[in-house]
Structure 1
Amino acid sequence: MPDPTRRDVSGFALTYGSGTAIDAHAHPAHQLIHAISGAMRVVSGGGLWFLPLGRALWIPAGVEHAIRCDGEVGMRTAYLSPACPGVPVDVRMVSVSPLLREVLVRLAEGGEAGLRPALLAVLLHEIAEAGLPPLRLPYPADPRVADLLAHLHTDPADPMTLAQWAKRLGFSERSLIRAVRVQTGMTFRELRRHSRILVAIERLCEGRPVTAVAYDVGFETPSAFAHAFRTVTGKTPRQFVAEARAASGR
């Protein structure tokens, strides 16, 4: 860990097997986590964050978070001292440029101590400039809505209707509509679409074909998938994957 009394940074590298779950924990230092391979899901700051290639997550010091690995994950983490000025105070997603990726890799490899001030300066600049719309869903406090969300991630193509979900979870239809809106800020339809796209991103970054992924996550046509993907991410599936691969150095 970096020296908490001065501007300092250190790096860390580990490889985790697919399905590895890291229980909720917190660090005394700020953390920027990134995967050079595989994808991660992080529960933190009241949200469920999806980290495919090309995305990193900024977690302020003392903020609790839990991680699950989708596929074998090559994690590269930077820890920044609380003494570092001007850093974000909330959990946020960061775009990983080729430069930021190389800084994270160099820090994780240990590098020369004399380079750390320069690497820290670049890191702070990239974090400040590289904010992104988050690939996240609010994490529901109601355990029944949380069960619904978990199922949408596990089986995104499940065609169960709102009425069927209400019966399964012990809600009336109207009560479930209200509970989903209060817990997530979305309608049931929006929640399913957003969840399907986030799962699709993970599979696309694994190298699966766009058309196959579209059907796998429950869309009736590739064009419907492309429209939903652009609605959620602002990009086409191929644009998103190309940018993620460029950031990962592939």
Structure 2
Amino acid sequence: MPVPAAADPWEQSLDATDTAPARRRLPLYEAGAIPVPFVIRGNTERIARDTHWDEHSHPTHELLWNDRGSSTATVGDRVWTVTPHHGLWIPAGVRHTGWTPAGTWQRAAMFSVDRVPTISEQPTAVEVTPLLRLLLDRLGDAELEDRARATTEAAIVDVLEPAEHELLLRLPRSALLTPIAERMRTTPSDTTSLAEWATRLGVSTRTVTRAFESETGLGFTRWVATARAQHAITRLTAGDSIAEVATAVGYRSSTAFGTAFRRVTGTSPGRFRNR
């Protein structure tokens, strides 16, 4: 999800009084289809309105992360949550869509395919460490000399690597599971049980469980917890309290929410928000 070029290619602010949802249509490019005159170039944009990014692809590799707030990027049936500490590497030519809520401070860096090898052939999560962030920020210095820029770019490439954990949800596509997936993505507070869903769908609980495992790699309970965690991350990065988020995503207590959140993300809600 690129941002339009500005006088300063590293930063752009499009704050506006219009708060209606926005839709951005961008072109489809094959990897390397357009030669670029840079090794790494970045942009910053403060998203003023909820924004949907139609399917598009870049001639360059792309690294997405946020300075503030969370967003999502979707490739096929996979949905990644992007935060200030969980970035996403999208190889050149890979088609993707996105959703960025209003108030997000979005960052993106584009990498020349001729100068920077991809860290993965598939989209993959990248931990945005303090060192990586410092290096990326340094490229925004308009007075950075060519030698220092080259050194910084080389250091960025050296520290880029897939994250140990990624905030990823795989969406089921079958007609059987689509009602569950749509419900959980729009109403994460829904507490319909596996048995209740099976009754509604006219199948056994075993059939639902097998379908989830086949299509997403997760059982029903773990998939629901992951879907709720993605919603929770958006609320936590927006500044909501842990108690408010717990209720909003369907947990009866902050303790139950914390346990489920930790199983999915590897950290507690409080620690995640404080980071």
Q: TM-score, normalised by structure 1?
A: 0.84
* Residues 13 and 109, structure 1, Cα contact 8 Å, conserved in 2: no
Distance 2:193 2:110 in 1: 44
* Change in CA separation of 1:39 and 1:5 when aligned onto 2, cut-off 3 Å: closer
Distance 2:107 2:251 in 1: 34
Instruction: State the partner residue of 2:26.
Output: none
* Change in CA separation of 1:34 and 1:108 when aligned onto 2, cut-off 3 Å: farther
Instruction: State the partner residue of 1:201.
Output: 233
Instruction: Report whether the alignment pairs 1:158 with 2:193.
Output: no
Cα shift at 1:28: 1.0
Instruction: Report whether the alignment pairs 1:95 with 2:127.
Output: yes
What do residues 35-64 of structure 1 show as CA deviations (whole Å, max 9, x unaligned)?
112211111264110112222100011111
User: Matched residue of 1:72: which SS?
Assistant: coil
Instruction: State the partner residue of 1:65.
Output: 96
From 201, 212, 215, give the equivalent of 1:180. Answer: 212
User: Matched residue of 1:219: which SS?
Assistant: coil
Instruction: Report whether the alignment pairs 1:81 with 2:81.
Output: no
Shifted more, 188-197 versus 134-143: the winner is 134-143
What do residues 6-47 of structure 1 show as CA deviations (whole Å, max 9, x unaligned)?
971111222323431001111111100111122111112641
Aligned residue pairs total: 241
Distance 1:94 1:235 in 2: 16
**Residues 218-233 of structure 1: pairs in structure 2 closer than 5 A:** 218-233=250-265
From 142, 154, 174, give the equivalent of 1:121. Answer: 154
Q: TM-score, normalised by structure 2?
A: 0.77
* Change in CA separation of 1:175 and 1:109 when aligned onto 2, cut-off 3 Å: farther
* Residues 47 and 101, structure 2, Cα contact 8 Å, conserved in 1: no
Identical-pair percentage = 30
Instruction: Report whether the alignment pairs 1:217 with 2:262.
Output: no
* Residues 18 and 73, structure 1, Cα contact 8 Å, conserved in 2: no
More helix by share: 1
Distance 1:45 1:113 in 2: 41
Q: Which stretches in structure 2 are left out of the alignment for 5+ residues?
A: 6-31
